[in-house]
Protein backbone atom coordinates (compact mmCIF):
# COMPACT_ATOMS: atom_id res chain seq x y z
CA UNK A 1 0.00 0.00 0.00
CA UNK A 2 1.50 3.34 -1.00
CA UNK A 3 2.45 5.80 1.73
CA UNK A 4 -0.05 8.67 1.38
CA UNK A 5 1.26 10.73 4.26
CA UNK A 6 2.90 14.09 3.62
CA UNK A 7 6.44 13.73 2.33
CA UNK A 8 7.74 15.25 5.58
CA UNK A 9 6.35 12.30 7.57
CA UNK A 10 7.30 9.34 5.42
CA UNK A 11 9.17 6.38 6.92
CA UNK A 12 7.87 6.88 10.43
CA UNK A 13 5.20 5.23 12.52
CA UNK A 14 1.65 6.54 12.51
CA UNK A 15 2.03 7.55 16.15
CA UNK A 16 5.17 9.55 15.47
CA UNK A 17 3.57 11.17 12.43
CA UNK A 18 0.54 12.19 14.49
CA UNK A 19 2.82 13.62 17.17
CA UNK A 20 4.65 15.75 14.62
CA UNK A 21 1.39 16.87 13.01
CA UNK A 22 0.19 18.00 16.43
CA UNK A 23 3.08 20.48 16.48
CA UNK A 24 1.70 22.29 13.45
CA UNK A 25 -0.86 25.04 13.31
CA UNK A 26 -3.35 25.35 10.51
CA UNK A 27 -3.02 28.24 8.10
CA UNK A 28 -5.42 29.27 5.34
CA UNK A 29 -4.39 31.35 2.35
CA UNK A 30 -6.73 32.80 -0.23
CA UNK A 31 -5.75 32.72 -3.88
CA UNK A 32 -2.91 35.15 -4.55
CA UNK A 33 -1.89 35.54 -0.90
CA UNK A 34 1.83 35.60 -0.22
CA UNK A 35 3.05 32.98 2.25
CA UNK A 36 6.62 34.30 2.45
CA UNK A 37 8.84 36.71 0.57
CA UNK A 38 12.27 36.10 -0.84
CA UNK A 39 15.07 36.84 1.62
CA UNK A 40 13.10 37.08 4.84
CA UNK A 41 13.87 35.13 7.99
CA UNK A 42 12.66 31.54 7.71
CA UNK A 43 11.16 30.49 11.03
CA UNK A 44 8.47 28.09 9.85
CA UNK A 45 8.30 24.97 7.76
CA UNK A 46 5.08 24.27 5.85
CA UNK A 47 3.22 21.21 4.64
CA UNK A 48 0.43 21.77 2.13
CA UNK A 49 -2.79 20.10 3.16
CA UNK A 50 -4.91 21.37 0.29
CA UNK A 51 -4.34 23.69 -2.64
CA UNK A 52 -1.24 24.76 -4.53
CA UNK A 53 1.63 27.16 -3.91
CA UNK A 54 3.84 28.83 -6.51
CA UNK A 55 7.51 29.32 -5.72
CA UNK A 56 8.89 32.20 -7.74
CA UNK A 57 11.99 34.31 -8.28
CA UNK A 58 12.05 37.89 -9.56
CA UNK A 59 13.24 38.42 -13.12
CA UNK A 60 13.43 41.45 -15.39
CA UNK A 61 11.12 40.84 -18.36
CA UNK A 62 11.27 43.66 -20.91
CA UNK A 63 11.90 46.26 -18.26
CA UNK A 64 9.39 44.91 -15.75
CA UNK A 65 10.29 42.94 -12.66
CA UNK A 66 8.09 39.89 -12.68
CA UNK A 67 7.75 36.88 -10.40
CA UNK A 68 8.76 33.94 -12.54
CA UNK A 69 7.52 30.50 -11.63
CA UNK A 70 10.30 28.20 -10.47
CA UNK A 71 8.34 25.40 -8.85
CA UNK A 72 4.85 24.41 -7.85
CA UNK A 73 4.09 22.64 -4.60
CA UNK A 74 0.87 20.71 -4.10
CA UNK A 75 -0.94 18.88 -1.30
CA UNK A 76 1.33 16.59 0.70
CA UNK A 77 4.50 18.44 -0.24
CA UNK A 78 6.80 20.41 2.03
CA UNK A 79 7.99 23.94 1.47
CA UNK A 80 10.00 26.40 3.44
CA UNK A 81 12.76 23.97 4.38
CA UNK A 82 15.03 26.99 4.81
CA UNK A 83 13.50 27.06 8.30
CA UNK A 84 15.60 24.00 9.15
CA UNK A 85 18.67 24.80 7.03
CA UNK A 86 21.03 27.67 7.89
CA UNK A 87 21.15 30.59 7.24
CA UNK A 88 17.37 30.33 7.70
CA UNK A 89 16.38 32.73 4.95
CA UNK A 90 13.82 31.97 2.26
CA UNK A 91 15.42 31.75 -1.16
CA UNK A 92 12.13 31.95 -3.07
CA UNK A 93 8.82 33.75 -2.81
CA UNK A 94 5.77 31.60 -2.06
CA UNK A 95 2.30 32.57 -3.24
CA UNK A 96 -0.93 30.61 -3.06
CA UNK A 97 -2.02 29.85 -6.60
CA UNK A 98 -5.50 28.89 -5.41
CA UNK A 99 -7.19 28.81 -2.00
CA UNK A 100 -4.77 26.79 0.08
CA UNK A 101 -4.53 25.22 3.53
CA UNK A 102 -1.22 24.45 5.15
CA UNK A 103 0.26 23.21 8.37
CA UNK A 104 2.91 25.57 9.72
CA UNK A 105 5.64 24.20 11.99
CA UNK A 106 7.77 26.60 14.01
CA UNK A 107 11.44 25.76 13.85
CA UNK A 108 11.97 25.90 17.61
CA UNK A 109 8.98 23.63 18.26
CA UNK A 110 10.37 21.08 15.82
CA UNK A 111 13.93 21.25 17.15
CA UNK A 112 12.73 20.88 20.74
CA UNK A 113 10.69 17.84 19.76
CA UNK A 114 13.58 16.33 17.80
CA UNK A 115 15.89 16.79 20.78
CA UNK A 116 13.47 14.74 22.86
CA UNK A 117 12.78 12.21 20.07
CA UNK A 118 15.94 11.87 17.97
CA UNK A 119 14.56 9.03 15.86
CA UNK A 120 11.70 11.25 14.72
CA UNK A 121 14.13 14.09 14.09
CA UNK A 122 16.30 11.76 12.03
CA UNK A 123 13.33 10.70 9.90
CA UNK A 124 12.06 14.24 9.38
CA UNK A 125 15.48 15.61 8.49
CA UNK A 126 15.93 12.69 6.09
CA UNK A 127 12.64 13.59 4.43
CA UNK A 128 13.67 17.24 4.18
CA UNK A 129 16.98 16.12 2.64
CA UNK A 130 15.02 14.09 0.09
CA UNK A 131 12.98 17.20 -0.81
CA UNK A 132 16.15 19.29 -1.15
CA UNK A 133 17.90 16.58 -3.15
CA UNK A 134 14.95 16.16 -5.49
CA UNK A 135 14.95 19.88 -6.19
CA UNK A 136 18.69 19.80 -6.85
CA UNK A 137 18.35 16.93 -9.29
CA UNK A 138 15.47 18.57 -11.12
CA UNK A 139 17.39 21.79 -11.49
CA UNK A 140 20.55 20.01 -12.60
CA UNK A 141 18.56 18.44 -15.41
CA UNK A 142 16.80 21.71 -16.26
CA UNK A 143 20.12 23.57 -16.28
CA UNK A 144 21.66 21.04 -18.62
CA UNK A 145 18.69 21.27 -20.97
CA UNK A 146 19.01 25.06 -21.03
CA UNK A 147 22.77 24.78 -21.67
CA UNK A 148 22.07 22.51 -24.62
CA UNK A 149 19.61 25.09 -25.94
CA UNK A 150 22.12 27.92 -25.51
CA UNK A 151 24.74 25.94 -27.42
CA UNK A 152 22.34 25.22 -30.24
CA UNK A 153 21.30 28.87 -30.43
CA UNK A 154 24.90 30.08 -30.41
CA UNK A 155 25.64 27.72 -33.30
CA UNK A 156 22.56 28.92 -35.13
CA UNK A 157 21.03 25.50 -35.33
CA UNK A 158 17.61 26.96 -34.60
CA UNK A 159 14.78 25.39 -32.69
CA UNK A 160 15.82 23.42 -29.68
CA UNK A 161 13.79 21.67 -27.08
Give the single-character DSSP code of 7.
G
Closest approach of Cβ 40 to another protein, in Å?
A: 23
Rounded Cα–Cα distance for residues 30 and 48 (Å) = 13
Residue 119 sits in the site that holds another protein (CB under 8 A):
no
Give the single-character DSSP code of 139.
H
Q: Which of residues 67-106 bind another protein (CB under 8 A)?
A: 68-72
Residue 25 sits in the site that holds another protein (CB under 8 A):
no
Residue 154 sits in the site that holds another protein (CB under 8 A):
yes
Residue 139 sits in the site that holds another protein (CB under 8 A):
yes
Give strand ranges (E) for the chain: 25-29, 34-36, 44-50, 52-61, 64-74, 78-79, 93-96, 100-106
89 close to 39: Cβ distance less than 8 angstroms: yes
Q: With CB under 8 A, what is the number of residues at the site for another protein?
A: 29
Query: Among residues 66, 108, 129, 147, which is the contact residue for another protein, using CB under 8 A?
Result: 66
Between strands 78-79 and 100-106, the pairing is: unpaired
- Residues near 70 by beta carbon (within 8 Å), at least 6 away in sequence: 55, 56, 57, 92
Query: Of 14-22, 24-32, 105-113, 141-149, which part binds another protein (CB under 8 A)?
Result: 141-149
Closest approach of Cβ 159 to another protein, in Å?
A: 6
Query: Among residues 1, 64, 65, 115, which is the contact residue for another protein, using CB under 8 A?
Result: 64
Q: Residues in the site for another protein, rule: CB under 8 A?
A: 61-62, 64, 66, 68-72, 134, 137-142, 144-146, 148-150, 153-154, 156, 158-161
Amino acid sequence: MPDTRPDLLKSMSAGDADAVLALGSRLTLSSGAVLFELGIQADQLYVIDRGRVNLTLPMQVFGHEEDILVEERVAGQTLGWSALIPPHRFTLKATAQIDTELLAFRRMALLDYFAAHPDVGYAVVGNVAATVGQRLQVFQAMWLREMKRVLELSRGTGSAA
